[in-house]
């Protein structure tokens, strides 16, 4: 076996271990020099990215890969922690790595003048570790551990600008909501263990019978993970924390939010995959009920998200509300895919939802980067105070226009590709859903055109006569994200065939996921 | 794809774009001229000759292109161009003159719905970048109007596609499928007929808002905002917006004809190739003229301008409820017929 | 190959980019026939305010929170309810969580 195969075998553990080690070494390295610290962070992320890349090429070609902590082979009883990486997990890991790289490059100039940067980079690497762990793990208690790590690291990062009282308040609300949610998840895991005496997702999925306690567990997991992903009406922590955290941090917290969304997918499609067709009272199968619950909450999310975003006057809080609306689009597609499981348009809806995951991470990420650049130059948060920046900040304006067109879903950018798939599959379930989705897309356009006018156009106020362009590493980060968005928009087929179709198939094919663990015994 | 097919496609794109751009501009300006003449006669005046819009555009090209002090020059100059180009690009996906669309597998109804936003968006961004308070108020009114009329338009489009889906047709959003299966043939009973008639009425009322004509032209209110969005535009930029208005008229009328009246005359008369084609094109131009007469001219001369919150109320409450009633009637159409039979 | 096909429609972005590019060349050329000169820094380039005096930039600036007045006024009932819902109280956040939890327990537990 050559060296690449050995590395691929060990890569699931290394993907978690390398950023974790980097996080713990970061305070020591920071004592030397700030440039050495920046280079060290980049090296850690490059190494992790390399391992994610080779693991992705293996998983997309050969199917799910298993890594057992502490033993060479599977043995009954399954007490080891297992990492099971299938195409959906590695898709999420790729998104997380892209967000991580962009955050790091952006932070170099954005956070340059702050104190306590060693703690900042430590926490960022810890948050990246926990997000990757949530996505790669195959053990539900391990998922809870990584969820807790991400809660604590996010809370500390949201409160990073301690000198502003609102950041502390946002972090406090975040930790209250997340800690209560995590406790309920622990309760659900305890119920699972008490019933089935196993913690491994594949083993549990194999033996799950739909008892009354299982119904409780499903509701607990769905509601908590939906709350962490930003589903209305439990979304209110999201604009608070996204609006007050440093924008480079918001990107990684968005990665954690998307990992909670991935948790919802894992619970419904894999953990409860075998029992999704059980019929309940009034002969409604479980998947129709769960799907319609998610669709209802998603439609309310989209409407409330854009309606509240239309009246905000704080830049980053506005983008936070539109992030709630975009999460609503994702849940709409997934809910339609679950409710119509088995029909061809359900697969299209699932593919649209998964592509929208990637697009949303990039679009909202670019908008937050631009908001950060504007804050860095003008030190103002409210849209009423800024004006006329397009005269001096030309590149930032162009990137904002690209982000605006993409988040609204205008052709030919990437937002249109995923919204196209969503509209043209969801209407087959019920036409009203597609209508609300199209309408809220236009409302999103109104929101961001208002921001475009307020920040970039308008008269030249004397306070902003001499603003300069944003620093170069920030422009580089924005440029990379914009280039990715244009590429996905112009060649949607390439991305869908290479990444999204295998991920959707891996979700629908829960027998393969279970068989990798249980069949191998 | 081999080199021959690729070069053929390229030639088709170039000739199609140039040809349809010429068609769109000439017939757009021509229809604006007819509209002005007819509305003048309805108001008891004589009105300008039919070729007045061509003279207007030619005159605008000889005027100075003033860029205001407070404007942002590159956005100010670029928005009219982007609006016009996007409107021209819609023409290549529509079935015009009885022919199938030029690039039927390149765009469908949802694509056209989004491409129709681009000219209005170009107007809005041009208005915002003008640096005058009148333009800013006009631009945000245009944005609010856009939010208002998209709701009934979305209901309409999804209803047409959903109805075709229930009949078992695939690729329901594509225009070649819609033109081949007219809506009036797809209804099973009187309920569906009434539903689609209501939807046609709603679409005829959405068209003046898309084209910014009275009573929905609050963004360009000449009497309140001194020209609104376009107050600072002059010369060749204003000519581009004028051309966009003309082409968008043809585009909206073509969409109504393609969705609701895609019938051709030549199968009925049974004529041969060239005469049949000419009869089809003339019939199509007649249909477009009738649509513009009923949705733009007649409404323009009879109703006064609405306030912006009245516009939002009109589209979101009565017209959306009407289109939702149309959707429900179409959904029940099949069930009622089965129930009665 | 470059065309995205959902089950019900088509979208080909490369084709649209080509069309856009060719139309751009055409209309940029047509636009070049127009006049591009104007008299800079005269009264021509001042904003047209129907003869009123132009004040300083801060006073003429239309603030962003005043935009979309027409839309927010016609949806006034909806917006008062929405704003009341977003109180900012951490206990209200947990209250909404508990409400949804109870609601879903009832639905999934009973059925």
- Asked if C71 lies within 8 A of B312 by C-beta distance, the reply is yes
Gap between the Cα atoms of A179 and A186, Å rounded: 10
**Does the pLDDT at position A306 exceed 80?**
yes
Q: What is the pLDDT of residues A483-513, one digit of tens each?
A: 999 999 999 999 999 999 999 999 998 888 8
Six token digits for residue B103:
């690039």
Average pLDDT over residues B286-313: 89
Residue of C nearest to A221 (CA): C101
Is the N-terminal amide bond of B215 cis, ω within 30° of 0? Answer: yes
Q: Which residue has the tokens 């009883």?
A: A77
Mean residue pLDDT of chain C comes to: 84
Q: Which residue has the tokens 């323009």?
A: B300
Residues of chain B in contact with residue C19, where contact means CB-CB under 8 angstroms, are 13, 16-17, 89, 92
**Residue B286 neighbours by CB distance under 10 Å:** 12
What value does the CA radius of gyration of chain A take, rounded to a whole number of Å? 22
Residue A449 burial by CB count (10 A; 0-12/13-18/19+): exposed, middle or buried? buried
* pLDDT for position A380: 87
Mean residue pLDDT of chain B comes to: 87
- Residue C56 CB partners (closer than 8 Å, separation 6+): none
Q: Quick one: chain A helix, strand, coil %, rounded to 5?
A: 75, 5, 20
**Does the pLDDT at position A77 exceed 80?**
no
* pLDDT for position C1: 65
Handedness of CA A368, A372, A375, A381 (dihedral sign): positive
Average pLDDT over residues B99-112: 85
Q: What is the pLDDT of residues A50-65, one digit of tens each?
A: 999 999 999 999 889 8
Phi, psi of C25 (to 5 degrees): -60, -45
**Does the pLDDT at position A370 exceed 90?**
yes
| A442 vs B115, B147, B165: nearest CB | B147
Side-chain-side CA neighbours of B184 within 13 Å: the count stands at 9
Greatest Cα pair distance, chain B, in angstroms, is: 72
* CA nearest neighbour of A368 among A153, A99, A122: A99
Q: What ipTM was assigned to the predicted interfaces of this complex?
A: 0.91
- DSSP letter for A279, please: B
* pLDDT for position A76: 66
Stated pTM of the model: 0.94
| B236 vs C31, C44, C70: nearest CB | C31
| Structural domain contains residue A275 | no
Using a CB–CB cut-off of 8 Å, the residues of B that contact A are: 70, 72, 74-75, 110-111, 113-115, 117-118, 121, 124-125, 128-129, 131, 136, 139-140, 143-144, 146-147, 150-151, 154-155, 157-159, 161-162, 165, 173, 327, 331
Average pLDDT over residues B49-62: 91
Q: How many CB pairs under 8 A join A and C?
A: 150
| Structural domain contains residue A80 | no
Q: At what angle do helices A414-426 and A472-490 cross, to 10 degrees?
A: 40
With cut-offs at 50, 70 and 90, classify the pLDDT of residue C52.
Answer: confident
Length of chain B: 341
* pLDDT for position A132: 95
* CA nearest neighbour of A221 among A255, A193, A186: A186
Q: What residue spans of A340-471 are helical by DSSP H?
A: 344-378, 394-408, 414-426, 431-456
Residue B238 contacts residue B59 (beta carbons within 8 Å): no
Handedness of CA A183, A185, A187, A190 (dihedral sign): negative
Gap between the Cα atoms of A189 and A184, Å rounded: 9
Would strands A65-68 and C4-6 be described as parallel, antiparallel, or unpaired? unpaired
* pLDDT for position B1: 59
Does B63 or B98 have the greater pLDDT score?
B63
| Structural domain contains residue A293 | yes
What range defines the domain where residue A393 resides?
Answer: 281-490
With cut-offs at 50, 70 and 90, classify the pLDDT of residue B188.
Answer: confident
Average pLDDT over residues B41-46: 91
> How many domains in chain A?
1
Mutate to test the interface with C, among A158, A236, A450 (most CBs of C within 10 A): A236
Go through A238-265 and write b for each residue having 16 or more CB atoms within 10 A of its CB, e for each that does not. bbbbbbbbbbbbbbbbbbbbbbbbbbbb
Q: What residue spans of A72-164 are helical by DSSP H?
A: 87-110, 117-136, 140-158
Residue C15 contacts residue C2 (beta carbons within 8 Å): yes
- Asked if C11 lies within 8 A of B107 by C-beta distance, the reply is yes
Own/partner contacts of C64-67, CB < 8 Å, gap of 24 or more, are C64/A313, C64/A383, C64/A384, C64/A450, C64/A451, C64/A453, C64/A454, C65/A311, C65/A313, C65/A383, C65/A384, C67/A450, C67/A453, C67/A454, C67/B140
Does A122 or C50 have the greater pLDDT score?
A122
Average pLDDT over residues B88-109: 86
Six token digits for residue A374:
């504007």
| B161 vs A410, A427, A457: nearest CB | A427
Planar angle of CA A12, A13, A17, nearest 5 degrees: 125
| Structural domain contains residue A421 | yes
* pLDDT for position B271: 67
Average pLDDT over residues A71-97: 85
* pLDDT-wise least confident of B16-25, C11-20, C28-37: C28-37
Gap between the Cα atoms of A323 and A326, Å rounded: 5
- Asked if A442 lies within 8 A of B173 by C-beta distance, the reply is no
| Structural domain contains residue A369 | yes
Chains touching B (3+ CB pairs < 8 Å): A, C
* pLDDT for position A521: 46
| Structural domain contains residue A423 | yes
Average pLDDT over residues B131-143: 86
* pLDDT for position B176: 84
Residue B258 contacts residue B176 (beta carbons within 8 Å): no
Share of chain B above pLDDT 70, in %: 98
Gap between the Cα atoms of A246 and A6, Å rounded: 39
Q: What residue spans of chain B are helical by DSSP H?
A: 3-42, 52-61, 73-91, 109-115, 117-128, 133-166, 175-180, 190-210, 222-225, 235-260, 266-269, 273-292, 298-302, 308-314, 320-340
- Asked if B158 lies within 8 A of A452 by C-beta distance, the reply is no
Average pLDDT over residues A330-353: 92
With cut-offs at 50, 70 and 90, classify the pLDDT of residue A398.
Answer: very high
With cut-offs at 50, 70 and 90, classify the pLDDT of residue A97.
Answer: very high
Mean residue pLDDT of chain A comes to: 91
**Does the pLDDT at position C63 exceed 70?**
yes
């Amino acid at each position: 076996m050559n060296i690449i195969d050995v590395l691929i075998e060990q890569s699931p553990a290394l993907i978690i271990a390398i950023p974790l080690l980097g996080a713990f070494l970061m305070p020591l390295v920071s004592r030397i020099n700030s440039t050495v610290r920046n280079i060290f962070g980049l090296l850690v992320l490059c190494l992790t990215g390399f391992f994610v890349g080779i693991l992705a090429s293996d998983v997309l070609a050969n199917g799910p890969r298993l890594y057992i902590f502490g033993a060479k082979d599977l043995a009954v009883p399954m007490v080891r922690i297992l990492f099971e990486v299938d195409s959906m997990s590695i898709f999420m890991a790729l998104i997380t790595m892209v967000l991580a790289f962009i955050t790091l490059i952006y932070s170099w100039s954005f956070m340059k003048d702050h104190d306590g940067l060693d703690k900042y980079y430590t926490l960022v690497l810890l948050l990246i570790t926990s997000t990757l762990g949530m996505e790669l793990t195959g053990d539900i208690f391990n998922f809870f551990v990584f969820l807790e790590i991400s809660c604590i690291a996010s809370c500390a990062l949201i409160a990073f600008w301690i000198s502003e009282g609102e950041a502390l308040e946002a972090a406090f609300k975040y930790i209250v909501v997340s800690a209560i949610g995590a406790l309920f998840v622990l309760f659900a895991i305890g119920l699972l263990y008490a019933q089935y005496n196993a913690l491994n997702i594949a083993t549990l999925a194999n033996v799950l019978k739909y008892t009354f306690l299982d119904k409780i567990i499903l509701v607990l997991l769905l509601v908590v993970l939906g709350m962490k992903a930003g589903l209305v009406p439990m979304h209110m922590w999201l604009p608070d924390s996204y609006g007050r955290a440093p924008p480079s941090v918001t990107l990684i917290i968005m990665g954690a939010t998307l990992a909670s969304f991935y948790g919802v997918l894992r619970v419904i499609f894999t953990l409860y995959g075998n029992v999704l067709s059980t019929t309940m009272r009034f002969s409604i199968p479980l998947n129709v009920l769960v799907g319609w619950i998610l669709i209802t909450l998603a439609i309310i999310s989209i409407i409330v998200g854009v309606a509240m975003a239309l009246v905000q006057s704080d830049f980053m809080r506005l983008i936070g509300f539109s992030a709630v609306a975009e999460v609503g689009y994702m849940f709409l597609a997934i809910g339609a895919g679950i409710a119509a499981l088995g029909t061809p348009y359900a697969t299209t809806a699932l593919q649209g939802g998964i592509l929208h995951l990637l697009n949303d991470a990039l679009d909202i990420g670019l908008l937050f980067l631009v908001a950060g650049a504007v804050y860095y130059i003008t030190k103002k948060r409210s849209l009423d105070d800024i004006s006329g920046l397009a005269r001096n900040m030309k590149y930032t304006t162009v990137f904002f226009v690209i982000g605006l067109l993409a988040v609204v879903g205008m052709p030919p950018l990437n937002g249109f590709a995923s919204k196209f798939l969503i509209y043209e599959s969801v209407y087959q379930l019920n036409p009203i859903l597609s209508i609300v989705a199209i309408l809220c897309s236009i409302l999103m356009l109104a929101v961001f055109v208002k921001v475009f006018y307020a920040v970039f156009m308008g008269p030249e106020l004397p306070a902003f006569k001499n603003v300069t362009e944003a620093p170069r590493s920030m422009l580089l980060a924005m440029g990379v994200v914009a280039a990715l968005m244009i590429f996905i928009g112009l060649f949607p087929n390439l991305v869908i065939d290479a990444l999204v179709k295998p991920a959707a198939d891996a979700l629908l094919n829960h027998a393969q996921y279970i068989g990798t663990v249980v069949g191998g015994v | 794809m081999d080199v021959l097919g690729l070069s053929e496609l390229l030639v088709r794109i170039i000739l199609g774009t140039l040809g349809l751009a010429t068609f769109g501009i000439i017939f757009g300006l021509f229809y604006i001229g007819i509209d002005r003449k007819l509305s003048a006669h309805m108001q008891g005046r004589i009105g300008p000759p039919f070729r007045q819009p061509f003279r207007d555009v030619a005159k605008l090209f000889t005027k100075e292109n003033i860029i205001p002090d407070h404007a942002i020059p590159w956005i100010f100059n670029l928005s009219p161009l982007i609006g016009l180009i996007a409107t021209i690009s819609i023409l290549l996906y529509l079935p015009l003159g009885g022919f199938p669309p030029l690039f039927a597998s390149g765009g469908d109804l949802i694509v056209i719905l989004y491409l129709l936003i681009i000219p209005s968006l170009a107007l809005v961004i041009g208005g915002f970048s003008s640096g005058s308070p009148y333009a800013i108020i006009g631009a945000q009114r245009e944005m609010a109007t856009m939010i208002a009329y998209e709701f009934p338009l979305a209901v309409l489009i999804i209803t047409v596609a959903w109805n075709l889906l229930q009949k078992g047709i695939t690729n329901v959003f594509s225009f070649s499928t819609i033109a081949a299966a007219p809506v009036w043939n797809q209804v099973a009973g009187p309920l569906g007929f009434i539903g689609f008639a209501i939807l046609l009425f709603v679409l005829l009322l959405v068209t003046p808002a898309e084209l910014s004509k009275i009573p929905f032209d609050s963004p360009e209110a000449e009497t309140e905002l001194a020209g609104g969005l376009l107050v600072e535009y002059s010369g060749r930029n204003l000519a581009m917006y004028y051309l966009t208005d003309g082409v968008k008229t043809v585009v909206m009328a073509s969409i109504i004809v393609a969705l609701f009246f895609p019938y051709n005359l030549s199968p009925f008369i049974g004529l041969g190739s060239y005469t049949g084609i000419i009869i089809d094109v003339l019939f199509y131009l007649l249909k477009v003229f009738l649509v513009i007469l009923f949705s733009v001219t007649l409404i323009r001369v009879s109703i006064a301008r609405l306030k912006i919150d009245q516009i939002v109320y009109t589209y979101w409450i009565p017209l959306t409820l009407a289109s939702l009633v149309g959707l429900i009637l179409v959904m029940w159409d099949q069930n009622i017929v089965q129930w009665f039979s | 190959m470059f065309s995205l096909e959902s089950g019900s429609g088509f979208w080909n972005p490369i084709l649209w980019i080509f069309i856009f590019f060719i139309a751009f060349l055409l209309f940029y050329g047509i636009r070049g026939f127009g006049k591009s000169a104007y008299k800079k820094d005269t009264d021509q380039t001042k904003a047209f305010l129907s003869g009123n005096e132009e004040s300083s930039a801060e006073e003429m600036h239309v603030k962003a929170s005043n935009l979309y007045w027409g839309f927010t006024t016609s949806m006034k009932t909806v917006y008062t309810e929405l704003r009341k819902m977003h109180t900012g109280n951490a206990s209200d956040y947990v209250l909404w969580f508990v409400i949804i939890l109870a609601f879903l327990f009832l639905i999934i537990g009973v059925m």
